[in-house]
Amino acid sequence: MKSWHRIASHSLLLFLMIFAALSFSAQGGLWINKISETSICAEGEAVNYNISYGYDGIRSANNVLIEDILPNVDLISASPAPSSQSGNILQWNIGELKSGEGEPIQVSVRVRHVRNITFDESSSVSGDGFVNVRKSLSASGYEGPVLVNTAIIYENNRPVSSSTCTIAIQGELGTDLKSAEHGSGSYSEEEISNLNTTADTIILAKDISATYKPTTFHLPENRTVSFSSTWSDLTSIKNPHTGDSFAENYQYMDDLKKSGGYNNHSQDLYSSQSNFSGGIASIGYVKQEPHTPGTKTTRLEISETYHGDFQTEQSLNAGSYSKYAKGTGFASSDANMGCDLRSSEHGSGSYESELQLSSNTILKSSNMVYQHNDQSVGGLNISYNNKWSEFSYVRNPSQSSEILQRISSADYIQQETLVGPSFLGTTGRFNGTEYFRGKFNGIDKAEVERMLIGNYNLDTTFAMSNVAKYLYPHLNLTKMVVANDGNYITYLINITNDGNEILSPVQVVDVLPEGTSFYSSSMQPVVQGRVVSWSFLALTIGDIQSIELIVKLDYEGADMLNRVQAVAQYGNRTILTEASSSPVVDAIPQYNTTTISDTGAWRPPSCFDLGLNLSECDGAIQRYYSGRDDNTGGCCPKITNVLW
């Protein structure tokens, strides 16, 4: 009986709730609906909401009020403007609302950054014993909290209907840094690390010195614990914004001294100096196209391995990579820029190598002598019996050219090599096997191929280019505006070696006009305020480098002329060229003026007129060497057996 009464009571309560709900809906006839233009957004991103509402009843609704309760966002705009705002609550006084839909409301907001973690560490540790340290700094993305936005419609201060809109926050991908070290023996380290998730900044600076030896510690109750671990220091960094991925691993070290650091917001991205013995060092760097996860578009890839006793230096900065390594053991180094440029060497014995890579150009110096080498790693003995090999390769798809040099099975290699687009120059000597090939598959075809086996001295230059425009060293520089939308100006800078000498190095410096600031560049520059510069290891004959520069127009200054200079060297002489461009979109590039300054003993006579356009200089040269000058009445005497 009690059970029947309980069921009847519940049924009556449910009936009353349904009746109340129906009465509430029928009484008002007001409705409201709020939607967003997206269901997921990132921190700092703008989101647009649309609020629609109306009345479906027969009579008019009176004292209608709409209230919008914003979540953790910043209001950008609202149309129409709200009647009142208190904190994150917006209200519109509609008043009387007749049957039909009311005027729609648009609200734009910006999602606030919810990642606001700042971490700073500064430590100094030294002592003897066992060390095990792990560190992980991450500004990576995550599925953040959801934004819940509710809009309510009132009649006579009584809520009638509501609508809720939910948006998920997707954290942006950020930089990840992981570091680990362990070993037993003598240990000393100083370290500074910083993480700022809002600015996506990660900084690591470390100076470590460690020497391996077994250690034993006495515990209570006559217990002891022993450690016998060689030293390891591991660092890995990934930055999806720039496409950088870096790993530096030192393992099984008897002695390790290393200093260096990483800063993802610095022009000098990474640097490291090390001196180690008895272990393996592996250094790798990959530069991919940013914001293309899952793709295989690689712009730069570095891989180095050393096993034995070595000292190394690596530096990675804006658009260039350099390394120096010297020691005894096994060494392997591979550097490539996509499929068009590559340099590598590997072998065992005595090794010394210096490499600079910048802007499709490689300059390297190698001194390697083979000897059998025995090493150990983690108690495992490894016998290296690899004679030295060295490889250089470049291709230029625009000219259909390809150049390759490979030295293999060498007892020794002493060589200096410059590799650039359609150019390879090398000098040195080796004892082994060399294979060389140069091909040009344009309309006119050319091919050179050779093989040398034995002991040889080399002095080889192979280049494929257009015929030099000038019969003397010359650098052509042009600059023009290709787009200007009032907010951003896009410049195109072209640097061409149209003379008859290889220019090395070449520095391009652009001074932005007042009222503008650097935004982006097709080649990574060094930026110091309004001064933007790029460096090239070399420009071979006929080589052309193009730079797209985008600057932000903050305001129009008094002088909006954008000036650029290029300085190049060959031998003991220097070429300086200048160009400029106004912010107006140019139909043709503005031409430059070029001068040559000489740091040697030779001085050009005044009739060369090098202060003016050098395109006129070839005629002055001919008049000079023929002993006549029509403009100065023969100021240049006839000279024979002149060494130019």
Q: What is the pLDDT of residues 281-331, one digit of tens each?
A: 999 988 776 544 445 566 788 999 999 999 999 988 766 889 999 999 999
Q: Which two tokens stand for residue 421?
A: 């687009």
SS3 25: helix
Residues in the chain: 644
Give the pLDDT band (50/70/90) at residue 140: low
Determine if residue 192 is left, alpha or beta; phi over 0 gives left, psi from -120 to 50 gives alpha, anything else beta. beta
| pLDDT at 17 exceeding the cut of 80 | no
> Which amino acid is it at 110?
R
pLDDT average, residue stretch 335-348 = 89
Closest C-alpha to 496, from 512, 511, 508, 481:
508
Closest C-alpha to 141, from 10, 273, 4, 238:
238
**Cβ pair 91, 85 in contact under 8 A:** yes
| Cα 139 to chain centroid, rounded | 17
Question: How far apart (Å, rounded) are the C-alpha atoms in residues 198 and 193?
Answer: 16
488-538 pLDDT per residue, tens:
888 999 998 888 888 888 889 999 888 888 988 888 788 888 899 888 888
441-481 pLDDT per residue, tens:
766 677 889 999 999 999 988 877 666 778 888 888 888 88
342-360 pLDDT per residue, tens:
999 999 999 999 998 887 7
Give the pLDDT band (50/70/90) at residue 141: low
Q: What angle do CA 327, 331, 332 make, to 5 degrees?
A: 145
Which residues fall within 8 angstroms of residue 622, CB to CB, at 6 or more apart? Answer: none
568-627 pLDDT per residue, tens:
988 888 888 888 887 776 544 444 444 444 444 444 444 444 444 444 444 554 554 444
Closest C-alpha to 324, from 298, 353, 295, 302:
353
Q: Which two tokens stand for residue 174?
A: 């950020």
Give the pLDDT band (50/70/90) at residue 234: very high
Lowest mean pLDDT among 131-135, 293-297, 408-412, 437-441: 293-297
Of 32-46, 252-266, 322-336, 538-552, highest mean pLDDT: 322-336
Closest C-alpha to 67, from 47, 48, 82, 50:
82
Can you tell me which residue has the tokens 């060389």? 436
Q: If you compute the radius of gyration of the chain from its CA atoms, what whole number of angstroms results? A: 36
Instruction: For domain 475-602, say whether CATH 2.60.40.740 is its number.
Output: yes
Lowest mean pLDDT among 8-12, 102-106, 263-267, 426-430: 8-12
Q: What is the pTM of this model?
A: 0.67
On the 0-12 / 13-18 / 19+ scale of CB atoms within 10 A, 291 is exposed
Quote the DSSP letter at residue 572.
Answer: T
Q: Where do you find CATH 2.60.40.740 in the chain?
A: 475-602
| pLDDT at 641 exceeding the cut of 50 | no
pLDDT mean across residues, the chain:
80
Omega before 505 cis (within 30°)? yes
| Comparison of pLDDT for 26 and 253, the residue scoring more | 253
